Amino acid sequence: MQTEGALAHYADPSYYSKTYARRKSDVAYYVKLAREHGGPVLEYGVGNGRVALEIARKGVEVTGIDWSRPMLEDLRTRLRREPGEVRTRVRSRFGDMRSVRLGSRFPLVIAPFNVVLHLYSRRDVERFLARVREHLRPSGRLIFDYSMPQPADLCRDPLQSFGAPPIRYPRTNQLVGYRERFEYDPLRQTLLVRMEFQPKDGAPGWSVPLSHRQFFPQEMLALLHYNGFEDIVCTADFTGRAPGPYTDSMVVSATTRRRR
């Protein structure tokens, strides 16, 4: 798995939580799915529990896998503030989603919010989907979402930065300027975003890389088909509606292929 940009964005859970605090539609979507399928649910990329905690609060057990130790530690901290019945419904496991084997099967396996975009090669995808097949019950479903490639981002000048309003950085309470640079590798189909922070008090700035594999819709359908999945359904932006040219997040649902 690619190193630069794979983990850095998840090294500071306080910043991550503040940045995505208003992202609610996907949480509601996965909570609804969890209640419909029943537990336990397996979540790849559980992080600090943005989705898993809400599922557990609704009475469904969740087992989460993640490769970021800071995010999992923050999840444990958050769980300590939850009622006992919620704490008992959440289990976490540190590890690589391409290789972790739990020895259990689940009616629902989810990978929310671009988790699959950290699968940078065909082999990464194959290994991940093999683990999913091992963890799904015969009638179970894999459901995940990923951001659609945006042509405007893929053709940006990597030497040009794009600014946004200053933010109050949560860990230090500094007021910092924020800019982004985009660098697309068309051969590897990887978009590297460099998030640049510059404190307004003159303190040294820093940069955080985030790398996402860019999966085009027909490519994703083929990868699922040739790795043992069927009944593949794609919808747009957690609405249940068919995707269109302005879809932002593609939501994909699939089952393992049944033996004929």
- What percent of the chain stands above pLDDT 70? 98
Q: Which helix (H) or strand (E) holds 184?
A: strand 175-185
Count of alpha carbons within 13 angstroms of residue 142, beta-carbon side: 26
Q: Please report where in the chains the tokens 């929310």 appear, as a residue.
A: 112
Residue 2: predicted pLDDT: 58
The model's pTM is 0.96
Among candidates 85, 83, 84, 64, which has minimal Cα distance to 75?
64
| Rounded Cα distance, 191 and 180, in Å | 12
| Rounded Cα distance, 136 and 252, in Å | 16
| Rounded Cα distance, 49 and 250, in Å | 21
| Rounded Cα distance, 140 and 133, in Å | 9
The CA–CA distances, whole Å, from 108 to 25, 41, 219, 226 equal: 19, 5, 23, 21
Residue pair 13/48 in contact by the 8 Å Cβ criterion: yes
Report the residue count for the chain: 260
Residue 138: predicted pLDDT: 94
| Rounded Cα distance, 220 and 224, in Å | 6
- What percent of the chain stands above pLDDT 90? 97
| Rounded Cα distance, 125 and 143, in Å | 15
| Position 258 confidence tier, pLDDT thresholds 50, 70, 90 | confident
Q: Would you say residue 260 has pLDDT above 80? A: no
Residue 259: predicted pLDDT: 73
Q: Would you say residue 115 has pLDDT above 60? A: yes
Residue pair 100/93 in contact by the 8 Å Cβ criterion: yes
Q: Would you say residue 163 has pLDDT above 80? A: yes
Six token digits for residue 168? 């109050």
Q: Would you say residue 255 has pLDDT above 80? A: yes
Residue 250: predicted pLDDT: 98
Residue pair 192/4 in contact by the 8 Å Cβ criterion: yes
3-state DSSP assignment of residue 156 = coil
Question: Order of strands, edge to edge, in the sheet holding 249-256?
Answer: 90-94, 62-66, 41-44, 106-111, 136-147, 249-256, 229-236
Q: Which helix (H) or strand (E) holds 210?
A: strand 206-213
